[in-house]
Amino acid sequence: MKTPHDALIAMLLGDAPASPALERWLATDAGRRELAAYRRTLAALERVVGSPTTGGRQVYYCAVPSPIGRLFVAASDTGLVRVSFPQSERAFVESLRRSLDVVPVRSRERTADIVHQLRAYFAGERRVFDVQLDLSGVSPFQRAVLMAAVSVPAGQVVSYGEIARRIGQPGGSRAVGQALGRNPIPIVIPCHRVIAAGGRIGGYGGGLARKRRLLRLEGALAVGG
Amino acid sequence: MMRATAASTELVERHRPEILRYLGRMLHDVGDAEDACQDVFLRAHRAVGRLRADSNVRAWLYRIATNRALNVRRSRARAMARVADVDVDALTACTGSAEERADVHAVRRAVESLPPRQRAALVLRRFHGLDYGEIAATLGGNEVAARANVYQAVKKLRAALGET
């Protein structure tokens, strides 16, 4: 990368994790200012380009009661697009509309398979999900990270650094953490099985209590741990 | 060679929703996007029999759609300003803080004045998840040029916000 701007854009577009040189620059006043400016630029771009609706494809969604609260799932004709932690139905539908440019339709029939699998998972009767995922719109880098997380079996955990290594980006733990933090399909894509170095539990979009609960359910964490 | 069978029809049709969204993003007008999408798929179905079996169908469809979108934009160069001003402002600029509205306004102007290929490259990368190889296959040129187009576009939009 020729300039810090190129490296910063690469990081924000998910093309490459931040190098140590970029991290140092981002810690300076100029770096902080540019990071904020580029983030504002991309947020504005989202509203300029991302908003015109074109009738949109439909996605089908449904609520799923679970021991970690009422989840929502959404699937397109191609595959599962979202699993969400507890929130209001309205907020979930709005986030689908906004982030995917789709028309959400409530349907038990079209989501029956994944709902069934999630119930079995929470009942301890299923450890592997067998569903099509629809990751259109997910960047190639994030897709690689998510697929690496899928390869971690139930009952095991790996570190962010290990995922970075597996996708050929050693030193990219931070970018991996960011990509996992934006996992659109948690639980099914088991980002909860990725933890910080030294056995610390790390972060989780659904809150650390839920991460611990999922890991206990899978037997990767002792009861009470 | 691949024959225009039910399988190849399905191979093409499965991309219709995302191509329609792409055309909406390039043209900023639902009706124009739907018309353009009809054209794109008409062409695609006629040509799919000549496509090599190992072709990247998705990139191929994006290429047809990009050409169609650029043609539409050229043919309505003057009317475009009108459409963009009315529709996009109404859709995007009436919510959020004053600062966000100012950002959206500045970025919208900058997007409209990007060279068409830079704009297409940016939309394909940011909103459709194409990698640089696929963008090169869509727009022509190589991966280095595809990436340069996207980064140039982002820098121009950033510059439109001015000093912060």
Task: Provide the annotated active-site residues of A.
Answer: 191
What are the structural domain ranges in chain A? 4-49, 58-122, 140-217
ipTM of the complex: 0.76
Tell me how close the Cα of B72 comes to any Cα of chain A, in angstroms: 16
Which fold would CATH assign to domain A140-217?
Answer: Arc Repressor Mutant, subunit A (1.10.10)
Query: In b/e form, how buried is each residue of A42-70, taking b as 16+ CB within 10 angstroms?
Result: bebbbbbbbbbebebbebbbbbbebebee
**C-alpha radius of gyration, chain A, whole number:** 19
CB spacing of B91 vs A52 below 8 angstroms: yes
The chain A residues in contact with chain B (CB within 8 A) are 5-6, 9, 13, 15, 33-34, 36-38, 40-45, 47-57, 78, 101, 135-140, 143
Query: How far does CA A97 lie from the centroid of its chain?
Result: 17
Superfamily classification of domain A58-122: Methylated DNA-protein cysteine methyltransferase domain (3.30.160.70)
Nearest residue of chain A to residue B20 (CA atoms)? A54
- The answer to whether the beta carbons of residues A126 and A117 sit under 8 Å apart is yes
CB spacing of A140 vs B131 below 8 angstroms: yes
Length of chain A: 225
Reading chain B (164 residues) residue by residue, the pLDDT tens digits are 444 566 677 778 888 888 988 998 888 777 788 889 999 999 998 888 888 877 888 899 999 999 999 888 877 664 444 433 333 433 433 456 778 778 888 998 899 889 989 999 999 988 887 889 999 999 999 999 999 999 999 999 999 988 76
pLDDT of residue A88 exceeding 70: yes
Q: Hey, which of A105-109, A144-148, B146-150 has the most confident mean pLDDT?
A: B146-150
Among residues A223, A90, A65, A221, the alpha carbon closest in space to that of A155 is found at: A221
Q: How far is CA A25 from CA A8, A34, A42, A173, B154, in A?
A: 10, 10, 20, 18, 19
CB spacing of B125 vs A44 below 8 angstroms: no
Stated pTM of the model: 0.52
pLDDT of residue A52 exceeding 90: no
The upper half-sphere exposure of residue B69, i.e. CA atoms within 13 Å in the direction of its Cβ, equals: 30
Which fold would CATH assign to domain B6-161?
Answer: Butyryl-CoA Dehydrogenase, subunit A; domain 3 (1.20.140)
Q: Which of A54-63, A102-111, A175-184, B34-43 has the lowest mean pLDDT?
A: A54-63
Tell me how close the Cα of B29 comes to any Cα of chain A, in angstroms: 7
Using CB atoms within 10 Å of the CB of residue A118, give its burial: 0 to 12 exposed, 13 to 18 middle, 19+ buried. buried
Question: How would residue A194 be classed by pLDDT, with cut points 50, 70 and 90?
Answer: very high
